Chain A
Amino acid sequence: MEPIIQTEHLSHIYSTGTPFERAALTDVDFTAYRGEYLGVIGHTGSGKSTLIQHLNGLLKPTSGVVRFEGQDIWETKERTRQTRFQVGLVFQYPEYQLFEETVYKDISFGPKNMGLDEGEVDRRVREAAHFVGLRDEQLEKSPFELSGGQKRRVAIAGVIAMEPKVLVLDEPTAGLDPVGVEQILGNIRDYHDAHDATIILVSHSMEEVARTVDRLVVVNDGTIPFAGPPREVFRHGEELERMGLGVPQMTRVFHRLRSMGLDIDPSVYTIEQARQAVLDYLAKKGAE
């Protein structure tokens, strides 16, 4: 697979030279591949938010390099700016950044900053709105008249409208009801499929990440201890528990079964995998 974003020996220290100096990232080598659906997981204060703000050049590394499509994003000022359009970043609680009179204008803020012509801006706004399930008549409303979940989808549309090759979302489902969570995750999946875009989903919920992503990166204490497909990462159940992350409930049950002496695969995390693992176990037992 071809890497799209890479960090090499990335370190970030906040408030250097003051008594409040604090290292948020230490020597991090992070890679996201083109077209993958990547999960970044870590508890509060692990450095995951600091990491993703480096991916589109909002934070400048204290040391190390960030590459987008192989090129250092800090090489020139223009490259940094262009990277911000290529790597769309949706912050936590993005609804608090809405400011325009109408939903349409707010979504068009990003595309307009890119310097696109009016026709293209219009196309992108409508397409982005369509992705997140906003109806045409809602485009003329004030964003402040909408419900919380709708506001969040407007804010996400505002980033999608820039048609970034990489879409990074920091806890996009925080504080939403289950229906809202499913909608947002569905919208993101649709964008991923339609544009063959790379998605980086940041979360602290193993359950949520486990069922959506292809690959998982664990951030703890400013470093990346594990990265790989969810099944591989979940083999480190105990270490993850110690980091305060835990594993999906399904995985925990199977870890427990194994520690009770059953010869069963403990890396499962979906019901389907669990069913297979149980059948395998029973088949093996029957054969004996």
Chain B
Amino acid sequence: MALKDITLGQYFPGNTILHRMDPRTKILLTVLYIVALFLSKQVVSYVVVIAVLAAAVAISKVGLKAIVGGMRPVLIIVILTGILNLFYTPGEGDPLVQVWVLKIYPEGIWSAIFMILRIILLITCTFLLTYTTSPILLTDGLENLLGFLKKVRVPVHELAMMMSIALRFIPTLIEETDKIMSAQKARGADFESGNLIQKARALVPLLVPLFISAFRRADELAVAMECRCYHGGEGRTRLRQLRYRGIDYAALALGVALVAVVVVLRKFGL
């Protein structure tokens, strides 16, 4: 069935160094990498950041296929950015090509290449984060990293809890949607044919039961949580403690080193 085949959360289970790393390390590394990426200006620094990411992808064993596949939805944005940069980057000297008002300068070509590379690298590195970290660990890591915001009364724990509950229930709701769709199809509902308005109307028999069941589940879950004395994040301990290990410190050091290298290269205009 089509609905069951949707992959969500994109997590690819595995047991590589990247999978075992603390989620906080991976989030911080992603941030550091993005900083390095945006500091890169010329060929040499780009070669460095590409090499680093290629190594990380190789270690993760996620496979290029998954990454390229995930890139498909943003392809149009990438191409559009490239084209705009190609034509709208003014340069010194004569344009290489001129068609009507559109001029292409050598600077434009470089700028387009760099911009496309930048977007692709940005997406790949965030993909790598979500491909190697389960959604639950990811929210745990985020909650922990953003913990300092609790001092200014941002309900970090509550937000993280909501996020993990939402993630937890996505597969359940998909299954439920599938079941209700089948049940209504058995009564002759038609979700495929007709114009836009007819299609929208055909969704009513699906959405009403789906919402009702979502509210019912939410209600039951709230009662179940209260029965077990859940009262928010105050003084709550964890089953799975996040702990930095040697590998995490090493990885973070490498991340910082990457940024430093790019900064130095930038100084030399490379």
Contacts and interface: CB of A to CB of B under 8 A. Distances in A.
Contacts of B99: none
A158 B184 CA distance: 10
Interface of A: 14-15, 18, 53, 56, 58-59, 81, 84-85, 88-91, 94, 96-99, 109-110, 113-114, 144, 158-159, 162
B4 interface: yes
6 contacts: A15-B5, A56-B186, A88-B186, A97-B209, A113-B190, A114-B188
Contacts, number: 60
Contacts of A110: 187-188
A84 to B, nearest CB: 6
A96 B175 CA distance: 13
Interface residues of B, number: 20
B98 interface: no
A99 B208 contact: yes
B61 interface: no
Contacts of B150: none
Contact of B204 (A14, A91, A99, A113): A99
A15 B209 CA distance: 26
A142 to B, nearest CB: 11
B95 interface: no
Contacts of A158: 187
Given A91-B182, A96-B180, A84 B204 contact: no
Contact of B187 (A14, A15, A59, A109): A109
Contacts of A53: 182
A200 to B, nearest CB: 13
Contacts of A56: 186
B185 A97 contact: no
Nearest to B186: A89
B183 interface: yes
A110 B178 CA distance: 19
A183 to B, nearest CB: 21
B186 A14 contact: no
B188 A84 contact: yes
A92 to B, nearest CB: 8
| Nearest 10 Cβ contacts at the A-B interface | A113-B188, A99-B208, A110-B187, A97-B183, A89-B186, A91-B183, A99-B205, A58-B182, A99-B209, A97-B209
B76 interface: no
A179 B1 CA distance: 37
A132 to B, nearest CB: 15
Interface in B168-184: 179-180, 182-184
Given A15-B5, A91-B179, A159 B186 contact: yes
B180 to A, nearest CB: 6
Contacts of A58: 182, 185-186
A84 B212 contact: no
B230 to A, nearest CB: 27
Contact of B213 (A14, A15, A96): A96
